Amino acid sequence: MSAADVARLRRVGYRLLRVQGIWLATIALFCVGFILQPNSLSVNQLLNVMQVASFLGIVAIGQTIVILTGGIDLSVSGVVTLVNIVTALGMKGDPGRIVPTVFLCLGIGLAVGAVNGLLVTKARITPLIVTLAMQAVLFGGALLLTGGIPSGGVPKEFTFIGQGRFFGFPVAAIIWIALTIAFAILTRRTVYGRRLYAVGANPRAAHMAGAPVDPTLIAAYAISGLTAAIAGLVVTAYIGLPALQSGDKYQLPSIAAAAVGGTALSGGIGGVVLSAGGALFMTELGSITNVLQVGTGAQFVIQGAAIVLGTALYSIAQRRRVASPSLAESSAAAAGRQTEGGAPPANGNAIR
């Protein structure tokens, strides 16, 4: 076998690790769960895992889109909590209030995301600081609305989207899958998606190529706020009650789901489908820790370790991929440099 063949096989292996690694890891984790608890692979248990994973998965969609730009959104848990409180207060158990309350909550999510994006792009404040401060504002708003004592409730009709089944399949999971497909198409098959990856990979180059960097970033944060609001609605329908801790489970795990799924925290690499695998992985990991009766503190340690490990593995794979180009790609690159003479690519306006 020639050196070029070995290099090509290595590149295929690294690509499989980056693209399919999360699904292989998730399957392996489910096998571990089966060893620890044989009934964990029953149809009913798998559907329950899908239902619980959908809440994290919906939040992770928006988180992934923000991370693709090189940013981060720590306000998602605050959006989920505030939407939970507003939903219970707005509906008050009355089916006639469902539609206006849902639109109000979606508007809150969009507004929060847009404000985050404006502060990041116009005020030039680091995304970590902006979204962390917004998280505090949102949780404070929830406390002010409730006075520390949540009240209100949701009608039985509304709980269907969180607790209901459609032909035996959880409605919450259907919503998650539909959103994942929609945003996968948005990020992979539209002009906005090309701009998103371009801005995440190199914002200066994207700007020089004509991509509207600031609007792209603002839209990314608005999408994150919107998906967090949708998750808040589904979570509220699932638990059926207002709770000030309803969003606590989604801040760090949503980042972990994106990271272990293969989305680079530096931006420009990854996708929402991979984050769906990450959400399943994190949910099953949580299920296993519950079976082992691991404490809350240890669960946070495991989540943090998952982020570090996932980021490290995909970073190593990416460096190896870049460091060992195939012979054909090296020849093509050399020919390209000779013919282009340093000029911008002919299709450089593709992201405009």
At 230, is the secondary structure helix, strand, or coil?
helix
Residues in CB range of 108: below 8 A, 6 or more apart: 79, 82, 83, 86, 225, 229
CB 185 within 8 A of CB 169: no
List Cβ neighbours of 72 (8 Å cut-off, separation of 6 or more). 63, 66, 127, 128, 131, 255, 265
Q: What is the pLDDT of residues 248-276, one digit of tens each?
A: 889 889 998 998 888 888 888 889 999 99
Mean pLDDT of 146-165: 90
Mean pLDDT, rounded, for 160-177: 94
Rg (CA), the chain: 22
Residue 169 phi/psi, 5-degree rounding, is -100, 135
Instruction: Specify the pLDDT at position 14.
Output: 53
User: Residue 35 and residue 334: Cα distance in Å, rounded?
Assistant: 52
Our CA angle for 94, 98, 100, nearest 5°, is: 120
Q: What is the pLDDT of residues 329-346, one digit of tens each?
A: 443 344 344 333 443 343
pTM of the complete model: 0.85
Does residue 300 surpass a pLDDT of 50? yes
User: Which stretch of 59-73, 86-100, 104-118, 296-310 has the lowest confidence by average pLDDT?
Assistant: 296-310
CA atoms of 278 and 10, how far apart (whole Å): 24
The topology under which CATH files domain 3-324 is: ABC transporter involved in vitamin B12 uptake, BtuC (1.10.3470)
Each residue of 110-143: pLDDT tens digit? 999 999 999 999 999 999 999 999 999 999 999 9
Per-residue pLDDT, 15: 58
- Mean pLDDT for all residues in the chain: 85
Tally: H helices and E strands in the chain: 14, 2
Residue with the larger pLDDT of the pair 342 and 56: 56
Domain boundaries, given as residue ranges, for the chain: 3-324
Residue whose pair of structure tokens reads 């149809």 in the numeric block: 43
CA angle (28 as vertex; 24, 33 as ends), nearest 5: 145
Between 7-11, 65-69, 78-82, 321-325, the lowest mean confidence (pLDDT) is in 321-325
* Residue 255 DSSP one-character state: H
**What is the Cα–Cα distance from 202 to 237, expressed in whole angstroms?**
40
Query: 72 pairs with which residues across the strands?
Result: none
